[in-house]
Amino acid sequence: MAVIDCSALVRTLTDHGTGGVAGRRRLTGVASLLAPGLLDYEMISALFGMRRGGKLTERETAKAVADYRLLPLVRHETLVLWRRVRELHHNLSAHDAQYVALAETLGLPPIASDARIARGGVATCTIEVYA
């Protein structure tokens, strides 16, 4: 099991370079990926934004969405984590705070490809960042 954030999944599903390879290698053998329920919305927003911005073709976008749908994702409600999310929000975005609060509760390090969560300095868990 692993808690994974949107930045890591987008990179894993769309990057054909070393970042994507690192993400795919990290997730090899992981039985289930855990994330806040907001992940679906973040993924669609990121992928469609990359398409609109010319970073992905229509075909690449469709493949990334199809691959995303095949992942062994377990989505968690985060309203129960509201107090911790609120505490973390002083240093993290509301989105990032949900990933960290979930990871802390489950005792798992969140996986990200964006170091801003680690730089926030407020998580009580180790943030696993790959580039």
54: domain range? 2-129
Mean pLDDT, residues 35-47 taken together = 97
Q: What pTM was estimated for this model as a whole?
A: 0.90
What are the C-alpha distances in Å from 106 to residues 18, 36, 76, 131? 29, 12, 11, 24
Judged against a pLDDT cut of 70, whether residue 131 lies above it is answered with no
Written as six digits, the tokens of 55 are 């970073």
The rounded distance, in Å, linking the Cα atoms of 88 and 93 is: 8
Judged against a pLDDT cut of 90, whether residue 116 lies above it is answered with no
**Strand 2-4 to strand 110-112: parallel, antiparallel, or no bridges (unpaired)?**
parallel
**Strand 110-112 to strand 73-76: parallel, antiparallel, or no bridges (unpaired)?**
unpaired
Number of domains in the chain: 1
Read out DSSP for 40-102?
Answer: HHHHHHHHHHHHHTTSS-HHHHHHHHHHHHHS-EEEE--GGGHHHHHHHTTTS-HHHHHHHHH
The rounded distance, in Å, linking the Cα atoms of 102 and 115 is: 18
**Residue 98 belongs to domain with CATH number:** 3.40.50.1010
Written as six digits, the tokens of 124 are 């009580």
Mean pLDDT, residues 108-112 taken together = 88
Three-state secondary-structure class, residue 95: helix
Mean pLDDT, residues 18-22 taken together = 90
Judged against a pLDDT cut of 90, whether residue 130 lies above it is answered with no
pLDDT of residue 125: 72
Q: Are 23 and 8 in contact (CB under 8 A)?
A: yes
